Structures are given as C-alpha cells and as structure tokens.
A = this chain, B = another copy of it.
Amino acid sequence: MPTTLPLKYVYQFIEPGPVVLLVTALPGAKPNIMAMSWHMMVEFEPPLIACIVSSSNYSFAALHETGECVLAIPDAKLAEQVTGIGNCSGRTIDKFTEFRLTPLPGQHVMPPLVSECFVNLECRVVEIRFVNKYNMFILECIKGWAIPDKITVKTIHHHGFGTFTVDGETIHTSSKMP
C-alpha cells in the first residue's frame, strides 16, 4: 500500500523526466488515463508542475472542467501498457480495465490513484491562462503517495514512437547544494 510522500520530495521524482500517467475523471464517467512526457517542475514546495495536454486528447476536457488529476509514475515493467495507453482513446476504451490497472481512491481529488505505479500525486489545476495558446496547465500537488519498497525502481523516458530508455546506473557527483 502507498504511504505519504512528503511534498518536499515530489520534485525528485518529476525532475528526472520520466513518463507519467495522467488520470482524470469526468463526473459520471469512468476515469481515464493518458501517457504524458511533456511536463516539468515549476516550484519546489508547494510542488507546482506544468504539463501540456493537447485539446485533441479526451483527457483535456476532464482536466479543464474538473481541475483535478492524478499523476502516476509507472516503472519499466509497465512500458508496454504505457504505450498501449498512449495508442488508444478513453472516448471508446476503459483503460483501467483494458490495461489491467487497479484504481485506488485518493484523499483529495476524484480521479483515482493507479495501484501499480510506485508514485502517485494528487493534483489540482492552479493556472489555466496558457491553456488556449499552448495547451499548458499548471498543477499543484496537494498530496503525494509512494510505495516505499519500490522507491528505487527504474522509470522510463520516452524518445518518441514507443521507444524508451530505462534508468541505468545511478551516479553521485560532488554537489555543494544544501
């Protein structure tokens, strides 16, 4: 079961640039999942995360209308499912069922966590002024979840067309940062 991930650590999971799953839910509809790689940290704490969600995506309306989402970080074992999720639309497919993923209720937002993901971030949209021009949303993470024994899992980074690099060696350089 996931336990609380303190908000001050959230950036350490987003800054490396892994593929994430964006989970949204329109009222009365099944929750939906989108694969996303166009996101970045904007502020450490409270954690702000910018992301691009194309207005052609089914997830766009849910994110825009509800102002809520979950960002779930999959590990490398889920790579085929991530590509599958990116290759179909929630308009016609229930992706949790199709890709054998387990929704888990969050505490603060309607969209569920993804049980199989080692980190889940409950988020609210806090900035929509760049939606029209750039499809850009800014999210605030209000609650983080992590599966402790999975904290060293390997994430995946998308290079386009279903090709990913998996995290390899970890190296520690001599940072003077506090």
Chain A contacts to B: CB under 8 angstroms: 11-12, 15-18, 37-43, 48, 50-52, 76, 79-80, 82-84, 86-87, 127, 129-130, 134, 136, 138, 154, 156-177
13 A–B pairs (Cβ distance < 8 Å), ordered by A? A15-B158, A38-B40, A40-B40, A76-B171, A83-B173, A86-B175, A129-B129, A157-B167, A159-B170, A162-B175, A163-B172, A163-B173, A168-B169
The 10 closest A-B pairs by CB, nearest first: A17-B17, A168-B168, A162-B175, A16-B157, A83-B173, A40-B40, A162-B173, A165-B167, A87-B176, A12-B160
Q: CB distance A169 to B171 under 8 Å? A: no
Q: CB distance B18 to A160 under 8 Å? A: no
Number of copies: 2
Q: CB distance A134 to B16 under 8 Å? A: no
CB distance from A130 to the nearest CB of B (A): 7
Q: What 15 additional pairs, Cβ within 8 angstroms, besides A159-B170, A164-B173?
A: A16-B158, A17-B37, A39-B40, A43-B134, A86-B177, A130-B130, A162-B172, A162-B173, A162-B174, A163-B171, A164-B171, A165-B169, A166-B168, A167-B168, A168-B168
Of the candidates B50, B168, B171, B172, the one whose C-beta lies within 8 Å of that of A136 is B50
